Amino acid sequence: MKKRTIVIIISFLTLWQISFSQVEFKLDTVIKTYNAKYNNDYKGIYIYDTLFIEILAKKFDSKSCNLFVNGRPLDCNNTFFKNPFKIDEFLFIQTPDSKKNGKLKFVQYSFEDSVFKDFGYSYSRNQQDSFIQDNSFKRFYHVIKNNEFKIKTANFLNKKGKEIADFDPFIKKTYFEGLGDIYYANVEEVLFFESNSAIIQICMNPEGADCSNYRFFIATAAGVKEIKDLFKFDVLNGYLLEMLFIDESQKTVRLNNRIYDQDRPNPLYYEGYILDIEKLKKKKVLAWINNIELISGINIQGNDIKHYFLLSNLDSKNKVIIPYKFIPQLDLAMYKGHQNEKLTKDDIKGLDLYTLGILRNSIFAKYNYAFSSEFYQAYFNLFAFYNHYEKKGKRTKNINDKLTETDKFNIKLITNTEKELGK
C-alpha cells in the first residue's frame, strides 16, 4: 500500500543552469506548485520536444517574470500568457491585445532572434474566424457561420484551411422535442484524431434558452455522422459530457459525464466512459471530478502526446500538478476491480510497474484509504468516488477487514505480476 513518492520542487535558478535534457518527469511524480517564495503559482507546464515551458499564474513584483522556457525568463513585461504551442522553430502564446479591449492575440517568439513579435490573430470569444486549439493541443480550427455552419482546419502559419464538417443541413432539419426550431448552434469541443478527422461536440439551443442540448458527431473523409448513442439528453435534467483525453494510439477517447438528476437524493453525480473511435462504442470506467482547470499542460514529442499535466490536490488541500498518461487498459481494469469483479491475466497483460501500482492501490482507494504517498493522494483525488466531500475527512488506513475475497485475489494477481517484472 505504501509507495515512495518522488517530489520535484522546481527551482528557476537550478533550471537556468542546466539543459532541458536533464529535466525528466517520471509519471509517478508530484510537482509542488510553488517556487522558493510563493505557493500555488503555476498556471501550466508544457513540453514541446526540447522546450520546457512554465507559466506562472501572476507576477509578484516589478522584477519577477511569469514566463520561463528551459528555466530562463522569456518575458517580464506581460502579465498574462496562456496556451503556448510550438510550430517549427517558433513559439506562439496567447496574450491580451492592448489595441482591442477584451480580445486576445498571438505573439510569436523566435529563438534565433530572441524577440517577441505580434502574429496578428486578434479575436474575442466569438468563434467566427477565430483560430482555436483543439482538445489534443496539436491542431487548430475555425468556425464559419455566415448563413452556414461549417468547421475548417486551420494552418496557423499560412492561414489556409480545409473544410472538415458541414453542419448546416443538419441544423436546418433538427427540432427540439416540443420546444420549436433550433435557432442557435455553437461548437463546444473538437478533438482531432487523424489529419482531417475529428470528434466534434455541438451545442444547440431553442430560442431564448441556455445551452442544454449537446450532440456529438464524427467528421471524416466520408462525411459527418452523429454518434447518437454516446450522449443521453433529457430536457428536465442537466448534462455535461466532456472529451478529456485521447490515448497515444489516437484510437480511444476518455469521456466524463456530469449529470444533474432531480429525482435522485443526491442529484449531482458523474459517469466516466472510454470511446473506441473506430467502432464508435463506449465502455464504462470510473468517473472524474469535472474541473475546468484540470489540464495544466501537455508533453508532446515528435507530434505524439506522451502525457498530460493535470491539476489536482493533496488531502491537505494543497494544489499540485502530476503527469498523467491516458491508458485505456488501466481504466478498464480499475473499473472492473471497483465493481468487485475478478481480474484476469489478460486484463493486466502488458501493464508496467507504474500502471500496476495504480491498479493495486485503486483497490485500497475504493475503501477511502489514507495514502502516505502524495502521488496517490493527487491521482485518486481526480476521481469522483475518492474526492468526495463526505469522504475527505474520514480517510483511514484500517481497511483490511473491508477487503473482499475478490479484492484479495486481485491484489495477489497484481503483486505477483509486479514481482515478475521487478526481477
CB neighbourhood size of 11 (10 A): 12
CB-based contacts of 161, cutoff 8 Å, min separation 6:
141, 142, 152, 153, 154, 155
Dihedral of CA atoms 385, 387, 388, 392 in degrees, nearest 10, equals 120
Task: Give residue 268's pLDDT band: very low, low, confident or very high (50, 70, 90).
Answer: confident
pLDDT at residue 183, rounded to an integer: 53
The string of pLDDT tens digits covering residues 148-165 is 778 888 777 777 778 888
Mode of pairing for the β-strands spanning 72-75 and 67-69: antiparallel
3-class DSSP assignment, residue 2: coil
pLDDT at residue 147, rounded to an integer: 64
Q: How far apart (Å, rounded) are the C-alpha atoms in residues 315 and 319?
A: 9
For residues 24-45, give the mean pLDDT.
65
Which range has the top average pLDDT, 25-29, 98-102, 149-153, 410-414? 410-414
**Is the pLDDT score of 4 beyond 50?**
no
Global confidence as pTM = 0.83
Q: Which residue has the cell 484509504?
A: 369
Task: Let me know: does 84 contact 55? Beta carbons within 8 Å.
Answer: yes
For residues 358-365, give the mean pLDDT.
97
> Strands across the sheet with 281-285, in order?
238-246, 252-260, 268-276, 281-285
- The three grid cell numbers given for residue 57, joined into one nine-digit string: 499564474
Q: How far apart (Å, rounded) are the C-alpha atoms in residues 46 and 52?
A: 6
Task: Give residue 189's pLDDT band: very low, low, confident or very high (50, 70, 90).
Answer: confident
For residues 161-182, give the mean pLDDT.
64
pLDDT at residue 393, rounded to an integer: 83
pLDDT at residue 82, rounded to an integer: 75
Q: How far apart (Å, rounded) are the C-alpha atoms in residues 71 and 90?
A: 17
How far lies 296's CA from each of 45, 46, 153, 309, 312, in Å?
Answer: 6, 8, 24, 5, 10
Task: Let me know: does 213 contact 203? Beta carbons within 8 Å.
Answer: yes
Closest CA to 298 of 65, 74, 135: 135
Q: Which residue has the cell 482531432?
A: 192
Q: How far apart (Å, rounded) are the C-alpha atoms in residues 375 and 312?
A: 10
Beta strands in 247-317 (DSSP E): 252-260, 268-276, 281-285, 295-301, 304-313
- The three grid cell numbers given for residue 19, joined into one nine-digit string: 539543459
DSSP H or E segment with residue 46 = strand 42-48
Task: Give residue 185's pLDDT band: very low, low, confident or very high (50, 70, 90).
Answer: confident
Q: For the chain, what is the total number of helices (H) and then of strands (E)? A: 7, 26
- The three grid cell numbers given for residue 112, joined into one nine-digit string: 534565433
Q: How far apart (Å, rounded) are the C-alpha atoms in residues 273 and 287?
A: 8
- Tell me the Cα Rg of the chain: 23
Following DSSP, what letter does each residue of 201-237 receive, concatenated? EEEEEETT--S-EEEEEEEETTEEEE-TTS----TTS
- Sequence-separated contacts (24+) of 259-265 with Cβ below 8 Å: 261/237, 262/236, 262/237
List the end-to-end C-alpha distance of the chain, in Å, as a whole number: 20
pLDDT at residue 59, rounded to an integer: 53
Task: Give residue 229's pLDDT band: very low, low, confident or very high (50, 70, 90).
Answer: low
Mode of pairing for the β-strands spanning 268-276 and 281-285: antiparallel
**Is the pLDDT score of 146 beyond 60?**
yes
**Is the pLDDT score of 359 beyond 90?**
yes
Sign of the Cα torsion 398, 404, 407, 411 reads positive
Q: Which residue has the cell 474520514?
A: 394
pLDDT at residue 8, rounded to an integer: 35
Task: Give residue 223's pLDDT band: very low, low, confident or very high (50, 70, 90).
Answer: confident
Give the lowest-confidence range in 3-17, 28-42, 77-91. 3-17
Between 281 and 369, the more confident residue is 369
